[in-house]
Structure 1
Amino acid sequence: MRIGILGTGGMATTLGGAWVRAGHDVLVGGRDHAAAKATAERIGAAGHGTLADAAAYGEVVLAAVPAEVAPELVKGFADVLDGRTVIDCTNPIVPTDDGLTLSTGGTTSIARRMADAAPNAHVVKAFNLCHDSIWTLPRPAFEGAPLAVPFCGDDPGALDRTAALITSMGCTPIPCGGLARAVYVEATAALAIGAWLAGAEPRFAFPVPMAA
């Protein structure tokens, strides 16, 4: 699969590296040429370039930028992103006196705002629940089971491509419905990260019923 990555930070580096290991053709794009070049060389990507180069490169485009700038960024490339699968891995999380909360207010999602900004792109929410370090593992598995990756979106083709991408990494896709459910996926990240920061293990709160 040809994948363009918007961004050069932690998620761009680790997810991009996982996709290169899985045999995908990745191009890293950034505002800073030197950072894009360094990230591409670090992960063994096919190439590097500008954000515009990455937006136009592949059938799949990853937005690996801060959540607050992601909608405006894709808006600037809306024409280029027509018909492409755009994966949103961001988390609009901010600290408060009561812990972590969503900067969106929990009534919408960054993924929805991206879809509104680039209405002919096919936005999928995915890869936002794990710390970027998890994606450095060759085939992430825990307690003998492959890592499960929730994702949601409205376009069947984009969902199929995302599921195939997840499977190629040795992980298990978990379809979570339409893009309207992205707000719940983002809220789950706020809950889980808050629990981790408090020293708890949120996975223990979700046992399967057959364990009873």
Structure 2
Amino acid sequence: MRMRIGVLGTGGMADALGTRWARAGHEVFVGGRDTTRAAALAERLGGHAGDLRAAAEFGEDAVLVALPWRAAVDVVGGLKDGLRSRTLIDCTNPVGPGFVLETAGGPSASARLASAAPGAHVVKAFNLCHEDVWRLAPPVFDGRPLAVPLCGDDEKALSAVRHLVRDLGCEPLNAGPLARAGLVEATAALLIGLWVGEGADAQAIAPPWAAAGRR
């Protein structure tokens, strides 16, 4: 199924995911505050380009929010009319200096996006990995495809994002409703702190499923 995907942003995540989806046969429209940068990225990946509003309007099947999380809330709020009924993919991480979760004690970044654009269907996804992981074709480690947790409340939106996850060669993982997005964001803060701050093999903290105490 060919999808029309709007990408809000021109940074590393927009580049990595947009490129992979374009190569999978989807139509991708890159929107940025700097339309020159948007056009340059769109030319590299073989898509369309324009401003943020045009990208939101183009993304009939999905809109990727690939902006710093604070800017994302403001941008999405400004585009809320064009995002009504859209599947809004939130890959942002509210992680600040010292690997601190900036939304601790308050609504998650995903919840804030949902409040900023109440007519959109927000799905948390793709936030646990560095952009370079999404450039791998496919992201398979020791013979095991990368699993991508998804949090969302709308089944149609989740189905669309599952499709996009599989197009990357990954496996979608049901992580629950959007109310659990804060847990995924907190996991990102922990993992980034271990990987970057400590140089640790963060993957080693999780035992194999067969030994995880299941009954």
The alignment's TM-score, normalised by the length of structure 2, stands at 0.94
What residue identity is the alignment partner of 1:72? D
| CA distance, structure 2, for counterparts of residue 68 and residue 151 of structure 1 | 21
Q: What secondary structure sits across from 1:105 in the alignment?
A: coil
Matching residue of 2:168? 169
**Per-residue deviation, 1:148:** 0.8
Match among 93, 99, 103 for residue 91 of structure 1: 93
Matching residue of 1:49? 50
What residue identity is the alignment partner of 1:79? D
What residue identity is the alignment partner of 2:160? R
Aligned length: 208
Matching residue of 1:69? 71
What residue identity is the alignment partner of 2:187? T
| CA distance, structure 1, for counterparts of residue 25 and residue 141 of structure 2 | 23
**Per-residue deviation, 1:209:** 3.9
Is 102-111 or 183-192 further displaced after alignment? 102-111
Matching residue of 1:136? 135
| CA distance, structure 1, for counterparts of residue 164 and residue 90 of structure 2 | 14
Q: What secondary structure sits across from 1:107 in the alignment?
A: coil
Q: Percent identity?
A: 54
**Per-residue deviation, 1:107:** 3.2
Q: After TM superposition, list the pairs within 5 Å mapping 1:3-82 onto structure 2.
A: 3-45=5-47, 47-58=48-59, 59-82=61-84
Gaps of 5+ in 2: none
Answer whether contact 1:106 1:183 (CA < 8 A) is retained: no
Q: After TM superposition, list the pairs within 5 Å mapping 1:172-183 onto structure 2.
A: 172-183=171-182
Q: After TM superposition, list the pairs within 5 Å mapping 1:148-163 onto structure 2.
A: 148-163=147-162
Q: Deviations over 1:144-167 (max 9, x none)?
A: 011111110111110111111101
What residue identity is the alignment partner of 1:199? G
Gaps of 5+ in 1: none
The alignment's TM-score, normalised by the length of structure 1, stands at 0.95
What residue identity is the alignment partner of 2:158? L
**Per-residue deviation, 1:67:** 0.7
| CA distance, structure 1, for counterparts of residue 36 and residue 15 of structure 2 | 14
What residue identity is the alignment partner of 1:57? F
Q: What secondary structure sits across from 2:97 in the alignment?
A: strand
What residue identity is the alignment partner of 1:210? A
What residue identity is the alignment partner of 1:158? A
Answer whether contact 1:6 1:65 (CA < 8 A) is retained: yes
**Per-residue deviation, 1:106:** 4.4
Answer whether contact 1:3 1:27 (CA < 8 A) is retained: yes
| CA distance, structure 2, for counterparts of residue 37 and residue 95 of structure 1 | 31
What residue identity is the alignment partner of 2:141? F
| CA distance, structure 1, for counterparts of residue 138 and residue 46 of structure 2 | 18
